[in-house]
């Protein structure tokens, strides 16, 4: 093995699935305790591979993986480039965007779609939570097509006046798929007296951690590969007490997605400010087609330091 995590090695994942061993002996302290190694082996033995290979979000065992994503929701062009075309064209566009970055790095570049599953709404709606929860069946065609094409998926939550965990549970059926991760969008997490576009939302870190713990347990219980867990942020106040963000779940790989838009000096300032005193996480950068002045080209985007693990287009 190239390392001590069996999920990292695509060849080992395939071998374990083929042999279906009832007992595994791991020689070396680096493998950790049975409590650590056992769930990793349970996942590896399923044989399921993530887009880009292996069962770790940001590594295929021999090199790093980076992601390039389209953001939006199917059938709604106003919410991002993901909704500007039908499902087959969306998959083709995601593959095209990722291909722009392949010549710029020796790392594996994985295409991705970030689907807004719950949409911040201007009115309270029937349930009074200022969030429109899209039905699972409305998202399934794109989620399944992405999996078949080797495109990773992240479901994005804009919960309004309810909480992230309540909404995440509604999409358990999709989150149980190996290639589907979860994103929290605190901009759209309202206090009981707030309204979208009048105030910028925020969330306490305990709510974020509770959602992460639930997703980690779901991943462990179902012997799934590691999942990407994204927290969107463009201002420090959006995640209260962020220093306590739990990044210890072996089942998750945590990424803070910097959503700043506008001039490039302003975006760079937001990027640098949010990285200050941050927990050890991966980092995401967003390119806005209409709002950035100007929007960075792929080669310019990969001049951002540290190099973004995820580049999203909206």
Domain residue extents for the chain? 1-47, 62-313
Q: What was the pLDDT predicted at 237?
A: 95
Using a pLDDT cut of 70, give the percent of the chain over it.
100
Q: What was the pLDDT predicted at 1?
A: 81
CB contact at 8 A, 181 and 230? yes
Could you tell me which residues are beta bridge partners of residue 193? none
CB contact at 8 A, 67 and 112? yes
Angle (deg, nearest 10), helices 87-101 and 136-149: 50
Confidence category of residue 302, pLDDT binned at 50, 70, 90: very high
Q: What was the pLDDT predicted at 295?
A: 97
Confidence category of residue 61, pLDDT binned at 50, 70, 90: confident
pLDDT digit string, tens, across residues 226-260: 999 999 999 999 999 999 999 999 999 999 999 98
For the segment 157-183, the average pLDDT, to the nearest whole number, is 98
Which are the contacts of 288, defined by CB distance < 8 A and separation ≥ 6?
Answer: 261, 295, 314
* Pairing state between β 65-72 and 152-157: unpaired
Q: What was the pLDDT predicted at 3?
A: 86
The pair of three-digit structure tokens given for residue 217, joined into one six-digit string: 């347990």
Topology (CATH) of 62-313:
TIM Barrel (3.20.20)
For the segment 41-58, the average pLDDT, to the nearest whole number, is 97
Confidence category of residue 223, pLDDT binned at 50, 70, 90: very high
Confidence category of residue 105, pLDDT binned at 50, 70, 90: very high
Q: What was the pLDDT predicted at 159?
A: 97
CB contact at 8 A, 63 and 107? yes
Mean pLDDT, all residues of the chain:
96
Using a pLDDT cut of 90, give the percent of the chain over it.
95
Nearest to 217 by CA among 209, 184, 166, 13: 209
Confidence category of residue 62, pLDDT binned at 50, 70, 90: confident
Residue 74 has pLDDT above 90, yes or no: yes
Residue 113 has pLDDT above 90, yes or no: yes
Whose structure tokens read 């992601």? 67
């Amino acid at each position: 093995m190239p390392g001590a995590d069996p999920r990292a090695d695509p060849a080992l994942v395939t071998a374990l699935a083929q042999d279906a061993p009832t007992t595994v002996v791991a020689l070396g302290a680096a493998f950790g305790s049975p409590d650590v190694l056992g769930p990793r082996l349970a996942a590896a033995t399923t044989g399921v591979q993530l887009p880009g290979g292996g069962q770790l979000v940001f590594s295929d065992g021999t090199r790093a993986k980076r992601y390039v994503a389209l953001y939006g929701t199917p059938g709604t062009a106003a919410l991002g480039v993901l909704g500007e075309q039908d499902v087959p064209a969306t998959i083709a566009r995601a593959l095209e965007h990722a291909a722009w970055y392949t010549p710029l790095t020796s790392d594996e570049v994985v295409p991705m779609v970030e689907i807004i599953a719950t949409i911040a709404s201007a009115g309270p709606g029937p349930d009074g939570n200022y969030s429109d929860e899209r039905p699972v069946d409305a998202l399934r065609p794109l989620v399944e097509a992405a999996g078949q094409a080797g495109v990773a998926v992240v479901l994005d939550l804009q919960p309004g006046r309810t909480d992230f965990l309540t909404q995440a549970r509604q999409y358990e059926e999709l989150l149980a798929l190996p290639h589907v991760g979860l994103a929290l969008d605190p901009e759209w997490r309202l206090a009981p007296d707030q309204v979208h576009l009048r105030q910028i939302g925020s969330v306490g870190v305990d709510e974020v951690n509770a959602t992460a713990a639930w997703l980690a347990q779901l991943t462990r219980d179902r012997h799934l590969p590691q999942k990407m867990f994204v927290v969107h942020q463009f201002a420090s106040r959006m995640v209260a007490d962020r220093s306590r963000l739990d990044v210890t779940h072996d089942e998750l790989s945590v990424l803070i997605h910097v959503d700043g838009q506008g001039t490039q000096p302003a975006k760079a300032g937001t990027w640098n400010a949010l990285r200050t005193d941050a927990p050890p996480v991966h980092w995401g950068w967003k390119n806005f087609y209409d709002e950035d002045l100007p929007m960075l080209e792929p080669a310019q985007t990969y001049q951002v330091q540290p190099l973004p693990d995820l580049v999203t287009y909206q």
